[in-house]
């Protein structure tokens, strides 16, 4: 990654320039058997579409705060980078009542209704399927995002010294986030080409770093496992081998 990168969106642009075809996020849900692998290019395309939805359809602006009520999931990772691209502060597990927008999964739809701004619902179903019908009070992400543009340019340049992420009672600017991600990448022994398997939830910095930011900062990739406890130890060992995992965070 480039030393000049100062926001998570910068890290993604550098990854895209370096090797767009390599894997970036491989996602497993061991309660459903789902496996999704996204290259840097495919992930970046999802981020661009989601950022265009945020900036265009939802009229989000730098400084807005988005309550992100989603578990560790590849689509959550997309939303985190889309928020960084626009300059919106992603509040992971944040209070919808105090947020400008809310993005919620199936388990948090009722809580998300406390947000008076725009609301987006994700089914989190395999293959990114839409809801049979949009939940009351929400727009369905799977319906809204496909028609968005594949390239994104912010209306206003993102300030790396503005708040970018809030989680676990801490708030980080984009520049602070990138620096912490680099430090955690070094602590975890990550470098270009590393494959980190993470079974940590996205409700803390440690989980977010292992499950997205540190591999991205290192030029590596993440194998993100939801509900790894559903796996027998030998099955987990087999996954580590088949996915060419070089480090784990469980």
Per-residue pLDDT tens over the stretch 220-232: 999 999 988 888 9
pLDDT, one tens digit per residue, over 44-81 is: 999 999 999 999 999 999 999 999 999 999 999 999 99
Give domain status of residue 3, yes or no. no
Give domain status of residue 2, yes or no. no
Say which CATH number the domain at 142 has: 3.40.50.12780
pTM greater than the 0.85 cutoff = yes
- Sign, Cα dihedral of 164, 21, 49, 114: negative
**Dihedral angle computed from the Cα positions of residues 7, 8, 14 and 15, in that order, rounded to the nearest 10 degrees:** 170
Give domain status of residue 67, yes or no. yes
Tens of pLDDT along the chain (250 residues) come to 678 999 999 999 999 999 999 999 999 999 889 999 999 999 999 999 999 999 999 999 999 999 999 999 999 999 999 999 999 999 999 999 999 999 999 999 999 999 999 999 999 999 889 999 999 999 999 999 999 999 999 999 999 999 999 999 999 999 999 999 999 999 999 999 999 999 999 999 999 999 999 999 999 999 999 988 888 999 999 999 999 999 999 9
Domain count, the chain: 1
pLDDT, one tens digit per residue, over 187-202 is: 999 999 999 999 999 9
Give domain status of residue 1, yes or no. no
Give domain status of residue 111, yes or no. yes
Q: Quick one: which of 103, 56, 109, 59 has its CA closest to 77? A: 103
Q: Quick one: which of 209, 224, 78 has its CA closest to 141? A: 78
Full residue range of the structural domain in which residue 156 is found: 8-249
pLDDT for res 1:
66
What are the φ/ψ torsions at residue 32 (nearest 5 degrees)? -120, -15
For the chain, where are the E strands, in sequence order? 23-29, 34-39, 65-69, 89-92, 101-104, 118-121, 139-140, 163-167, 170-173, 195-198, 221-226, 247-249
Give domain status of residue 102, yes or no. yes
Give domain status of residue 194, yes or no. yes
């Amino acid at each position: 990654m480039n030393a000049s990168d100062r926001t998570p969106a910068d890290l993604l642009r550098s990854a895209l320039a370096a090797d767009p075809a390599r894997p970036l996020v491989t996602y497993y849900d061991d309660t459903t058997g789902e496996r999704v692998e996204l290259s840097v290019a495919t992930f970046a395309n999802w981020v661009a579409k989601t950022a265009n939805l945020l900036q265009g359809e939802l009229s989000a602006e730098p400084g807005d705060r988005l309550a992100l009520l989603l578990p560790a999931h590849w689509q959550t990772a997309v939303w985190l980078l889309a928020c960084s691209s626009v300059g919106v502060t992603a509040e992971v597990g944040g209070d919808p009542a105090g947020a400008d927008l809310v993005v919620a999964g199936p388990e948090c739809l009722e809580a998300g209704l406390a947000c008076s701004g725009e609301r987006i619902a994700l089914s989190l179903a395999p293959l990114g399927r839409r809801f049979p019908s949009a939940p009351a009070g929400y727009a369905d992400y799977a319906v809204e995002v496909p028609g968005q543009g594949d390239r994104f340019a912010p209306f206003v340049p993102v300030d790396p010294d503005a708040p970018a992420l809030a989680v676990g009672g801490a708030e980080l600017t984009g520049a602070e986030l990138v620096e912490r991600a680099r430090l955690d990448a070094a602590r975890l022994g990550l470098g270009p080409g590393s494959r980190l398997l993470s079974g940590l939830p996205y409700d803390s910095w440690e989980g977010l770093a292992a499950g997205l930011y540190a591999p991205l900062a290192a030029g590596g990739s993440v194998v993100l496992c939801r509900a790894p406890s559903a796996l027998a130890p030998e099955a987990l060992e087999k996954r580590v081998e088949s996915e060419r995992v070089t480090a784990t965070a469980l």
